[in-house]
A and B are shown apart, each in its own frame.
Chain A
Amino acid sequence: MGILGLRAKPPRVSKGFKYLSDDGRVMVVIVDVRGGEYYEAFRKAFKVLGGLRKLISSGDKVVIKPNVGFTHSDAVTNPILVRDFARYIMDEVPNANIIIAESAVAGNDTSYCFESTGYMDALGNLDVKIVDLKRLSGTVKVRTDSRLIPYINVYELVYDADVLISMPMLKRHIEATVTISLKNMMGAIPDSEKRKFHLIGLSRCIALLNKVLNPDLAVIDATRIMAKSGPGHGEIIELNKIIISSDLVAADLIAAKMLFEAEGVERPLEKALNVKHIRLAYKLDIGTLDLSRIKIINIEV
């Protein structure tokens, strides 16, 4: 029974809430954080979006999934940014149960990654749980509609979240071209599943995984980005931006465009539209790539 995936669970039920503008377009907020005041940046961004309380209600289990796949701090989401976001959520929704969960790249020790990249120092004093998924969470089988991979093993903690937030660092990726909020969800599956993804076809599996997990929000750390090559080693560029949207595909498109612009690539938008897993995610109706349906709002702190 189990092998055939008959006991598999349905996709994660998300709140289904999207931050839309008055004319029904998907909002993507780009915040300039040159001064380094991230808390203020989140406050302003969510004021423009319409408030965090629309997404997170009191008592919710909020799982923030940063990218802490590596042992050096150049390749992970800025811990200060994660801390300030957690603090902002706590102040807005006092009863929220915040969990920061990650399973590092295959073969890396997640607990050590959290320690060596400064997460323990930054978040240690805060009332949040930092979870090494590889050690502390069981897995559940979740059904997909695809015949390619009938079910995906996902960490239970992520599956059970009321609100799932993808908080990646904007990076180049050697296999998937870019690694942003969609690719970041690879950290919610065990190493054995990651291996399977590479065997079957990474881009399609990333799209299917996001269909199954339905993340509610993308908060992309573009304070410093990794260009030219990645995800472990690359050229670090200070961009001082944060991108926030409840539409992961639109957020990834805008972020990818920004990355290619910073690299000096010709026709960055076209290149961003051609990223395979973003296009496949759009085809699976996870979000929109239609630029007429995306409203980009630039704000400064």
Chain B
Amino acid sequence: MSMTRKFLRPPGAISEEEFLRKCIKCGKCVEACEKYGSGCLELLSIFKGLRYWRTPTFNPFKAPCEILGKCSVRQYCIEACPTGALVKRHSYKLGKVIWNPNKCIKVRGGECLVCIEVCPMNAIRFANKVLQVRDSICRGCGKCVHACPGRALTLIPC
């Protein structure tokens, strides 16, 4: 049985089990992201488990992934990977967006919906006090998660 993903991975990551086997924890993808991308990648700390230590993760709170913007032509993190733990694909999906209505400013009566504003895929709808992220369209770039002022959105691995 394949292992479920515990952490968000950079775009193009192969299945978690294979990924952990192939990743040599060199941190080159993170360096490339800092240099050419948005700087959304970071290395996991030792407290997340020895097995995951120094493997790369995507943190949308730090910065959103530019896979649909600046990095749509060249994916620098994937190009930097020396072992093939990250591979080029036709399209990328980084995660799934989860919405927490208790933290949503719009539901609480404020003037917000910044998530819809920033979504590059136009995947978010808001009707009858319910925010709907259409999973078939969403690529998990994390722009909405990054922009949400109430931190009502989170990205989970898929």
Of B6-14, B22-30, B116-124, the stretch lying at the interface with chain A is B116-124
B69 touches A108 (CB 8 A): yes
| Docked complex Cα distance between A195 and B146 (Å) | 10
In the assembled complex, how far is the CB of residue A227 from the closest CB belonging to chain B, in whole angstroms?
Answer: 15
The reply on B107 being an interface residue by CB < 8 A is no
Residue numbers in B under 8 Å from A203 (CB-CB) = 111
Interface size on B, residues (CB 8 A): 26
Q: Does B70 contact A (CB under 8 A)?
A: yes
A106 nearest in chain B by CB position: B147
A77 within 8 A of B: no
The yes or no answer to A285 lying at the interface (CB within 8 A) is: no
Chain B residues with CB under 8 A of A233: 122
Interface centre among B116, B117, B146 (most CB of A within 10 A): B117
A230 to chain B, nearest CB (A): 8
- B44 — which chain A residues lie within 8 A by C-beta? none
**Complex Cα distance A103/B111, Å?**
21
Q: Does B154 contact A (CB under 8 A)?
A: no
Main secondary structure of the interface of A (DSSP, over half): loop
Cβ contacts under 8 Å, B111 to chain A: 175-176, 198, 201-203
B133 contacts the other chain (Cβ, under 8 Å)? Answer: no
Complex interface residues of chain B between 102 and 119 (CB less than 8 A to chain A): 105, 110-114, 116-119
Give the contacts of A197-229 with B (CB-CB under 8 A): 198-199, 201-203
With A106-B147, A108-B143: A232-B114 Cβ-Cβ less than 8 Å: no
Report B134 CB to chain A, min CB distance, Å. 13
- Known pairs A71-B69, A107-B147; A201 contacts B110 (CB<8 A): yes
- Identify which of residues 93-149 in chain B touch chain A, using a CB-to-CB cut-off of 8 Å: 105, 110-114, 116-120, 122, 126, 142-143, 146-147, 149
Also in contact, A109 and B69, with CB within 8 A (given A199-B110, A202-B112, A233-B122): yes
Cβ-closest 9 pairs across A and B: A202-B111, A195-B149, A106-B147, A233-B122, A112-B70, A198-B149, A198-B112, A107-B64, A107-B143
Residues on B lying within 8 angstroms of A by beta carbon are: 38, 63-64, 66, 68-70, 105, 110-114, 116-120, 122, 126, 142-143, 146-147, 149-150
